[in-house]
Amino acid sequence: MSLNHIFNEGDVVTLIPLFKSKGDVRYVLKLEKNGVFQCRHGVIKHNDIIGKMPGTVIRTHLGYSFVVLQALLPDMIKNYREFKYVTQVIYPRDWGLIVAFSDIKVGDIIVEIGTGSGALLAFLAYRVGEKGWIYSYERDPERAKKALENIKNMKVPQRYTIKIKDVAESGIDERNVDVIFIDIPEPWTVIKHCWCALKPGGRIIVYVPTYNQVEKVLRELMYQGFIDISIREGFIREIQIKPYAIRPKLKGYYFSAFIIFARKSMIIPLQYIFELKKRIFTT
């Protein structure tokens, strides 16, 4: 959005209905000169939005009214047709927990292991500011390609590098990083590389959906010399906003994953002690 507070070509906007509808109806689109958006409520011409201010009401050719606002990142991930899901994404319900309990802030250097569809990467790119950077590792070239397309379509600031590499086999290139975030099926296979990559006191976050994975991650974190370990999960309950029946929504999604937090100490990991002993007794 430009400083003059009007919509321009290339802006991503959200259309919020002013009429009753079944379900949570809203549309997200990127504005293009002479573009046309079609949905079951009719046709909207992009030119009718370009040059208008946020909060403007527009109508489809069928007479349905929408308020036009600048699209928020959660809207883009959930409702933007150009956002392609190549894996299950980490949703906004967990973003706050991840940032708050790992103290991610402006200027942080972050390594992400498991780019997936790029949702968390997009969120972090806004959080680290102009002086921060995210190095995201993805072993599947096709996933990396789709994630990059998603991020570019959402006009995410260029504060990231996506690397096609299997960290379990080849390790992490960066050193002295502030935070490492892991979201892969077998996160315990990469934790041994994280101790070397993190700066002293650096934070590691592991995102897993099952207790079986939690147990393996905990064992590996302790083995590799990480301390201050904690596990959290978040619960969010949406409230129905009908004036005649304000109550929790009857349908909801209450569990996403366990989020494991830990910090690097200067305790030498057992892995390196065992390797040193092996070298001493074999020479």
At 42-83, the pLDDT tens digits run: 999 999 999 999 999 999 999 999 999 999 999 999 989 889
Same domain for 97 and 219: yes
Residue 93: what pLDDT?
A: 86
Same domain for 127 and 52: no
Question: Quick count: other Cβ atoms within 10 Å of Cβ 154?
Answer: 21
* C-alpha count within 13 angstroms, C-beta hemisphere, residue 8: 5
CATH of the domain at 63: 3.10.330.20
Instruction: Give residue 228's domain range.
Output: 92-282
pTM of the model: 0.86
DSSP code string of 1-25: --TT-S--TT-EEEEEESS--SS--
Question: Quick count: other Cβ atoms within 10 Å of Cβ 236?
Answer: 13
Contacts of 170 (CB under 8 A, 6+ apart): none
Instruction: Indicate whether 80 belongs to any domain.
Output: no
The DSSP code for 80 is: B
- To which residue do tokens 């003059």 refer? 4
Same domain for 97 and 223: yes
Instruction: Indicate whether 83 belongs to any domain.
Output: no
Instruction: Indicate whether 141 belongs to any domain.
Output: yes
Mind listing the pLDDT tens digit for each residue in 170-217? 999 999 999 999 999 999 999 999 999 999 999 999 999 999 999 999
